[in-house]
Structure 1
Amino acid sequence: MVPAAGTRIGWADLPIGVREQIEGIIGGRVVEAVSQAGGFSPGTADRVLTGDGRRAFVKAVTPALNERSAELARQETRITAALPGHVPAPRVLGSFDDGDWVVLVLEDVDGTHPRTPWVETEIDAAVTALAQLADALTPAPLAVPAVTEVLTEGFAGWQRLAADPPADLDPWAAGHLPELIAAAELGLAASDTGDTLAHCDIRADNMLVRPDGRLVIVDWPWGATAPVWFDRVLLALNITVHGGDPERVIAGLDRRIVTDVFAGFAGFFRDISRLPPPPGLPSVRAFQRWQADELLPWLRRELGS
């Protein structure tokens, strides 16, 4: 497994004025900050504690670290603020954007990431959480792009690989590029419906399991309108990659659509993994390549039949 991790700054790296504004949002001076691993932003991801016992989760990034990360932070702030209060997502305590630093302060959710390989109880909790989200976020509570706008270029990955095949392309994939291209196109077409606000980046490291077993979905920069089933398919994809039983997730869904969406993401991951890593995110390309490789056994089995 390739870990999902960027090179993060921490609370102490923030300018004093930024820290003071954050403390004003929380309502007390921060006396402890614990940086959280995972994710691909080079910005902060700190669980903080104030002197009077208040807790919060602080995310802060500047375009000087990574321009795209700052754009995504702005998107996440807008989307998270629009989520209804009763959904399984963190509450927003406050935010600000001074043109340099983009800061989002959230409630500190008491929880840990689901175990990988995935275990059945946490798969079931994730399915329940996604169902609650879909029910509350249909129709979408704010204007966001359609998921196909986000995916169209990426889902053409197999076409680009066919035009310029890498020497180390998996032999089965190299021999079945027309089928993979067609499947990715079908996956994109199937996703071009629905008005649900989907998270669109469902992974174990974007979830927290509370002590009572309930699951919370975090990190919302990629929210887009999509079919009601879209996030469930992404959950099944993550379970397929990390290990576990994706059949618990896709029961009742069109299996061919699941495979076609998997094909689109596999082509996207394999194609983009050829690019140099962006600033502050040294492991993202290896992580994408690993995901593409882990999806191939599913695609060989399903497309072969």
Structure 2
Amino acid sequence: MVVASGVRIGWADVPEHVQARVESILGDRVVSAYSQRGGFSPGTADRVRTASGGRAFVKAVSPAQNERSVQLLRREALVAGALPAGIPAPRLLGWHDDGEWVALVLQDVEGRHPVTPWTAAELDAVLGTLRMLADGTTPCPMPELPAAAVSLGKDLSGWERLAADRPDDLDPWAAARLPELVALGAAGVAALAGDTVAHTDLRADNLLVGPDGAVTVVDWPWACVGPAWLDTAMLMVNVNLFGGHDVDALLTAYAVPLGADPAEVTALLAGMTGYFLDACRQPPPPGLPTVRAFQRAQGEATLRWLRTRLSS
């Protein structure tokens, strides 16, 4: 199984003036840093310790690693700083932006990523957290967030691009149904109206399970405003990828009570499938050598799931 992984730099690769700014935010000298693996970023992801025993999580990147990652870290800083109290997310302690290097200093949350393939207990804990997150952010308390249809609309139109430039290796079932899939992708965008904060990039590597079983949602650059069920439905793509669970039954148990219409969920899944199968055709971005293989794996797994939903 291809995992989410960038070729990361570490704390020692961060320029001294950026390190000094991080230490100023912390009010103490950093004496150790432990790089964290996983996630699609070539920037730092370091758990740091200070001389007095303080802890923080530091993320830093520059255009030399990946220009897009710089933009995302700036956006994450704005979102993390605006998340209301009580949301299960790391608190932003401060951030640095000198026009080249961007660094976020976040609360260091003790925990680990959920086990994959997913266990029933951890999946239940995560889905319960998403329900709590939806309840706590409806109506949306962050007016600066974009609408989900605006944020995700281009991505979910992948079937249009696949139809205009059909790849030779496109699944025959999908190739024979391109007009239907294009229409479903458009319906998926239309289904994104809502007034709830949505993370929209939920995978195991963007979640932490604490020693007490509490779940924290991390990495928020893609946050937007959409339906209460959106994160729950999108997480099922990751669960389905690793297998071992009845994802349709989970949607019925967890997404439908949040207002999900099964037809709208199917349309969303169609749009996500088109996104993955279109995006995986592109060259890998700098510092992210595995992202296209991961997108292909997600696209193929979600296509099999979509085919089942459309035939039932």
Could you state the TM-score of these two structures normalised by the residue count of structure 1?
A: 0.96
**Distance apart, 1:10 and its partner CA:** 0.4
Aligned length: 304
- 1:155 aligns with 156
Q: Which amino acid aligns with 1:136?
A: G
Contact 1:124–1:248 (CA<8 Å) still a contact in 2?
Answer: no
- 1:259 aligns with 266
User: Matched residues in 1 for 2:262 and 2:36: separation?
Assistant: 36
Q: 1:248 aligns with which of 250, 253, 270?
A: 250
User: Matched residues in 2 for 1:185 and 1:174: separation?
Assistant: 17
User: Matched residues in 1 for 2:53 and 2:172: separation?
Assistant: 57
User: Matched residues in 1 for 2:298 and 2:237: separation?
Assistant: 9
User: Matched residues in 2 for 1:217 and 1:250: separation?
Assistant: 22
- 2:301 aligns with 294
User: Matched residues in 1 for 2:186 and 2:70: separation?
Assistant: 31
CA RMSD, Structure 1 to Structure 2 (Å) = 1.3
Q: Which amino acid aligns with 1:283?
A: T
**Distance apart, 1:62 and its partner CA:** 1.2
User: Matched residues in 1 for 2:221 and 2:252: separation?
Assistant: 25
- 1:106 aligns with 106
Contact 1:113–1:205 (CA<8 Å) still a contact in 2?
Answer: yes
Q: Deviations over 1:163-204 (max 9, x none)?
A: 22111111222222222222212111111x112111111111
- 2:285 aligns with 278
Q: Secondary structure at the match of 1:156?
A: helix
1:125 aligns with 2:125: yes
Q: Out of 125-134 and 7-16, give the one that drifted further.
A: 125-134
**Distance apart, 1:249 and its partner CA:** 4.0
Q: Deviations over 1:73-125 (max 9, x none)?
A: 01100001111221111111111211111111111111000111111111111
Q: Secondary structure at the match of 2:31?
A: strand
Q: Which amino acid aligns with 1:10?
A: G
Q: Which amino acid aligns with 2:181?
A: L
Could you state the TM-score of these two structures normalised by the residue count of structure 2?
A: 0.94
Contact 1:60–1:101 (CA<8 Å) still a contact in 2?
Answer: yes
**Distance apart, 1:303 and its partner CA:** 0.9
Q: Deviations over 1:118-138 (max 9, x none)?
A: 111111111111122112222
User: Matched residues in 2 for 1:207 and 1:54: separation?
Assistant: 23
Contact 1:123–1:248 (CA<8 Å) still a contact in 2?
Answer: no
**Structure 1 residues not aligned, in runs of 5+:** none
User: Matched residues in 2 for 1:250 and 1:2: separation?
Assistant: 28
Contact 1:240–1:295 (CA<8 Å) still a contact in 2?
Answer: yes
Contact 1:233–1:250 (CA<8 Å) still a contact in 2?
Answer: no
User: Matched residues in 2 for 1:243 and 1:219: separation?
Assistant: 24
Q: Secondary structure at the match of 1:44?
A: coil
Contact 2:18–2:96 (CA<8 Å) still a contact in 1?
Answer: no
- 1:268 aligns with 275
**Distance apart, 1:214 and its partner CA:** 1.1
- 2:80 aligns with 80
Contact 1:235–1:249 (CA<8 Å) still a contact in 2?
Answer: no
**Distance apart, 1:63 and its partner CA:** 2.2
**Distance apart, 1:158 and its partner CA:** 1.1
- 1:63 aligns with 63
Please give the residue correspondences for 1:36-47 in structure 2 after superposition, counting only pairs within 5 Å: 36-47=36-47
The percent of aligned pairs where both chains have the same amino acid is 55
Q: Which amino acid aligns with 1:293?
A: E
Q: Deviations over 1:194-218 (max 9, x none)?
A: 1211111111110000111111000
User: Matched residues in 1 for 2:128 and 2:31: separation?
Assistant: 36
**Structure 2 residues not aligned, in runs of 5+:** none
User: Matched residues in 1 for 2:262 and 2:37: separation?
Assistant: 34
